[in-house]
Structure formats: C-alpha cells, structure tokens
Amino acid sequence: MNLPKSFQLEYTSFHSKVAQRIFLLFILCAVIPLSILAYFSYSQVTKNLYSQADEDLHRTSKTFGMMTFDHLQFLESDLDMLSTILENRGGA
C-alpha cells in the first residue's frame, strides 16, 4: 500500500538501542512498581473484606438465634398458660 510519507509508521525507530533502553526504563520504573502496589493493596483489601464478612455472619447468626429463642420462650409461655387453663377446667 502506497501511503504518503507522513502517514507511514517508522518501524526502525524502536529498534535503536536508545529506544529499547527508554522502553525498558519505563517498564522498570512505572509498570513493575504499580503492579507490586496493586498486588499488595488487593491482598490487604481481600483480608479486610473477609474479616468484615465473618463479623457480619457472626452478628447475623447471633441475631437470628436470639429471635428464635424469644419465639420459643413465647410459645412455652403459651403452652404453660394453656395447660393451666385446661387443668382449671378439668378440676371445675
């Protein structure tokens, strides 16, 4: 394809030693530290989220257990009241 000289990409510019060294320096100074930082922040956030999820599950199960216990106490008092009524009726 015959494009004007201004539209053609020069592939030889990246093959020079200076361009290769600049690219390597960019990789070393920018990409690698950012990758390490991203990994450490990911591991820290993951650890915090797991601990928060564990605390939430503990709190939810405790609340559910207390609600179940309250309902059982209510039913037990109803059964006691019913047995008392039936005993009074049977005696009369």
| Whether pLDDT at 77 is above 90 | yes
- The answer to whether 41 touches 47, Cβ cutoff 8 Å, is no
**pLDDT of 16:** 83
pLDDT 10s digits, 3-54: 566 655 555 556 688 888 888 898 888 888 899 999 999 999 999 999 999 9
Q: What is the mean predicted confidence (pLDDT) over 55-76?
A: 97
Question: In the prediction, which pLDDT does 44 show?
Answer: 95
